[in-house]
């Protein structure tokens, strides 16, 4: 019994590790949009067997980062202007809904966590390196700030969907590498969002959050529109952008 339990624990741990690595490779753009995900290729890449790979692929297909194709296996989900607009619209709807409840029901302990997350974010430079890429530390603190801001609600399912939408949004940014965002504009949004939330000003907080999401996605929208325009320059409609794999 103990041996069987240990084997099950190892299998679970291995499956979770494969899922984390595969998810990170999809979000980072290392695995390109439209790329076929054959089991042979993935076994060689991650050095694991078929069972944890299948589990990871089905988990990712549930979040729509990977698409399951009947009788053809799996493929990294394509990107498109239409899809990104849907991601942003869903983020606005779901995050404002959670924010309203978070402000209404958030405790003093929640207020303390919001302040701490905001202070941590404000300390970090937004960009790093000669390429002027978003700093990984800043991106982690940024996501944490928004998570903490919404965490007063206790809406488990809504928070789950919000997390999936963030993965999709980050994936677009990583793949397209759009023009740099204005650190000053985004930090002003963070300051105002925190102040509105802690003063329990629901209406203003929702206005700021919607504006913040639009500010953060504007450069990606421009990059997608330009890319799809180039892809369709030969006269064919550019529905999706994908790799040639």
> Which DSSP letter does residue 28 get?
H
Same CATH topology for 2-76 and 81-231: the answer is no
* pLDDT tens digits for range 203-243: 999 999 999 999 889 999 999 999 877 655 444 444 455 54
Beta strands in the chain (DSSP E): 36-37, 66-69, 73-76, 127-128, 133-134
- Would you say how long the chain is, in residues? 245
**Domain 2-76 top-level CATH class:** mainly alpha
Q: Give yes or no for a contact between 205 and 99, defined as CB atoms under 8 angstroms apart.
A: yes
Note the pLDDT of residue 122.
Answer: 94
| Main-chain phi, psi angles of 134, to 5 degrees | -60, 130
Rounded CA separation 105/100 (Å): 9
Alpha-carbon span 237 to 245, nearest angstrom? 20
Query: What are the tens digits of pLDDT across the range 11-50?
Result: 557 778 999 999 999 999 999 999 999 999 999 999 999 9
Percent pLDDT > 90 in the chain is: 68
Given pLDDT bands bounded at 50, 70 and 90, which one contains residue 2? Answer: very low
CATH class of the domain comprising 81-231: mainly alpha
The ranges assigned to domains in the chain are 2-76, 81-231
Q: What is the pLDDT of residue 192?
A: 97
Residue 177's pLDDT band (boundaries 50, 70, 90)? confident
Tell me the whole-structure pTM to 2 decimals: 0.84
């Amino acid at each position: 019994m103990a041996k069987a339990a240990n084997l099950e624990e190892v299998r679970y741990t291995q499956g979770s590790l494969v899922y984390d690595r595969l998810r990170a490779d999809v979000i980072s753009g290392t695995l390109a949009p439209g790329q076929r995900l054959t089991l042979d290729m993935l076994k060689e890449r991650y050095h694991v067997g078929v069972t944890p790979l299948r589990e990871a692929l089905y988990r990712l297909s549930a979040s729509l980062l990977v698409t399951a194709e009947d009788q053809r296996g799996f493929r990294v989900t394509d990107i498109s202007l239409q899809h990104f607009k849907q991601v942003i619209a869903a983020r606005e709807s779901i995050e404002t809904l959670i924010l309203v409840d978070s402000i209404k029901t958030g405790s003093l302990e929640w207020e303390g966590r919001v302040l701490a997350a905001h202070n941590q974010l404000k300390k970090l430079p937004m960009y790093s390196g000669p390429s002027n890429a978003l700093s990984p530390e800043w991106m982690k603190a940024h996501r944490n700030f928004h998570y903490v801001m919404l965490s007063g609600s206790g809406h488990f399912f809504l928070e789950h969907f919000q997390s999936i939408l963030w993965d999709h949004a980050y994936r677009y940014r990583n793949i397209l590498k759009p023009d740099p965002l204005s650190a000053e504009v985004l930090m002003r949004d963070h300051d105002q969002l925190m102040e509105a939330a802690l003063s329990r000003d629901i209406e203003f907080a929702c206005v700021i959050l919607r504006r913040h999401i639009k500010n953060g996605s504007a450069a990606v929208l421009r990059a997608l529109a330009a890319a799809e325009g180039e892809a369709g320059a030969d006269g064919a409609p550019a529905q999706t952008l994908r790799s040639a794999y």
